[in-house]
Chain A
Amino acid sequence: MGEAIVITSGKGGVGKTTTTANLGTALALQGKKVCLIDTDIGLRNLDLVLGLDNRIIYDLVDVVEGRCKIHQALVKDKRVDEKLFLLPAAQTTDKNAVTPEQMKSLVDELKREYDYVLIDCPAGIEQGYKNAVAGADRAIVVTTPEISAVRDADRIIGLLEQEEIEPPKLIINRIRRDLMKNGDTLDINEITAHLSIDLLGIIIDSEDVISSSNRGEPIVMDPNNKASLGYRNIARRILGESVPLMALEDHTKGMFKKLISIFSK
């Protein structure tokens, strides 16, 4: 029996879809069987980030309304063999086409076959959110170091705490090291103290994330990228390993400076 994890944020544009795609790929690379569900009905784009858009035949609404079987609608990612699947959202209808009860039975069915079912939640706290949360066992809240994103994360955590699921975990996405160091954005400690939930990991902002998304290739495929490392670490933490939090300092500094920073601790 697998586990269903919903990835949500409240605010839009903080990186839920990118996080879902990358965590899913990272878990699949670790040898787990993963199914991703895009619940953003009417505004689907998880398929694009994974580069699977041209292989969609059936979608979530087709499955729910009985026009096809689940396995017919699942799109296989060929890069990670037989491990990563996507259940795409419908593009022609809206969030009200599915009810939370239907989502729950769908997720329960997928959990029997997959180790992890990652549910990509749409922005907002309306029907789409309720559908996405319905079948989940755990929740991951994605935020960025901006007050607007943190405020919405606070709201969504409040709503998640009323659901019968484990306490949600936090991912702080798109951290700009230079801005955080100068105090121009919220500090990691400030965010975790404010939201007071466990931190699952941090993702350092990288331009490569955008370019790789545009190519339809999750950044975790690139083993040398900082953001990729962040996602891999989070995947390992989801699997139960204890991985230390990534240091914010830039590793490109010279040997001498490194020595100084070691002795000045």
Chain B
Amino acid sequence: MKKQLVHIKGTKEGLVLRLDDQCAYAELVEQLKRKVSEGGIDGKVDVQLHLGKRYLSTAQQDELITIVQGPGNMHVSKVHSDVITIQEKMEIEQASQCETYIGIVRSGQILNAIGDIVVIGDVNPNGKIEAGGSIYVLGNLRGIAHAGLKGDKEAIIVASHFEPTHVLIDDKIEIMSNEKPFVKENAEQIFAYLNKDGHISYERLQEVRNIRPLLSTVKGGS
């Protein structure tokens, strides 16, 4: 008797296909095809693929998904694997890191960060900061700040002296003008964030913990 390479389990969220992670990929594809064509399922079901400790490229994942969705009554909602590549891990790590830049971002210079960035120094007019996460400037922010470059809507922009020409969060842009008296009057103690309606808003620094409680990585303060 040949070893079972595909195990089907029913859960609350639908079916789970647990695929063997020790056999050859070709063998697995073979058996998965057979298993799927057996039928015996009524109506539409959500299916999760559990790969175990097998690493699959996106092309291979797509192949498995087309096989499973082939008969038409199964829909793959999730592909789960216990392993990721070192590169993927590095990207995740960099995105969650906070970089520090000490110096002045001058006119015409662009400072890039994958995750959060702390700038100890000024950002002069025409200087630009681009960050995947939040931007914290310990100095005068007089240039352009773009937080949440790749779609992080939770990102905020903080500066000791908040006087930028342009504020960008995710894909929203705001040109600072004299028509924003709140920013002008409170330049020393405010930050920019995306509010619930998706617009850029400004609030006193003391409100960060209410508006973005998840930014805090430390609990308490005894």
Contact = CB atoms under 8 A, between A and B. Distances in A.
A158 B107 contact: yes
Given A155-B107, A158-B108, A196 B122 contact: yes
A40 interface: no
Contacts of A159: 108
Contacts of A217: none
Interface in A140-162: 151-152, 154-155, 157-159, 161
A181 interface: no
A215 interface: no
B104 A155 contact: no
Interface in B130-162: none
B189 interface: no
Contacts of B107: 151-152, 154-155, 158
A196 B104 contact: yes
A151 B125 CA distance: 8
A159 B17 CA distance: 58
B126 A155 contact: yes
Interface residues of B, number: 11
B177 interface: no
A205 B46 CA distance: 80
Interface string B56-95: 0000000000000000000000000000000000000000
Contacts of A161: 103, 106
Contacts of A155: 106-108, 126
Nearest to A151: B107
B109 A158 contact: yes
B124 interface: yes
Interface string A172-185: 00000000000000
Size bin of chain A's contact surface: 10 to 19
B126 A151 contact: yes
Contacts of A152: 107
Q: Is the interface of B mostly helix, strand, loop or mixed?
A: loop
A99 to B, nearest CB: 24
A67 interface: no
A69 interface: no
Nearest to A147: B125
B123 to A, nearest CB: 11
A79 interface: no
Contacts of A71: none
A194 interface: yes
A158 B121 CA distance: 13
Interface in A180-196: 194, 196
Contacts of A196: 104, 122
Contacts of B104: 158, 196
Question: Considering residues A151, A154, A155, A161, which has the most beta carbons from chain B within 10 angstroms of its beta carbon?
Answer: A154
Contacts of A154: 106-107, 124-126
Contacts of A151: 107, 125-126
Contacts of A194: 122, 124
A154 B126 CA distance: 9
Contacts of B122: 194, 196
A196 B142 CA distance: 14
Contacts of B127: 158
Contacts of B108: 155, 158-159
Nearest to B124: A154
Interface in A119-159: 151-152, 154-155, 157-159
A157 B107 CA distance: 9
A133 B106 CA distance: 19
Interface of A: 151-152, 154-155, 157-159, 161, 194, 196
Interface of B: 103-104, 106-109, 122, 124-127
Given A154-B125, A155-B126, 18 more contacts: A151-B107, A151-B125, A151-B126, A152-B107, A154-B107, A154-B126, A155-B106, A155-B107, A155-B108, A157-B106, A158-B104, A158-B106, A158-B107, A158-B108, A159-B108, A194-B122, A194-B124, A196-B104
12 contacts: A151-B126, A152-B107, A154-B107, A154-B126, A155-B106, A155-B126, A158-B106, A158-B107, A159-B108, A161-B103, A194-B124, A196-B122
Closest 7 pairs between A and B when the two form their complex, measured CB to CB: A158-B106, A155-B107, A154-B107, A155-B108, A154-B106, A158-B109, A154-B124
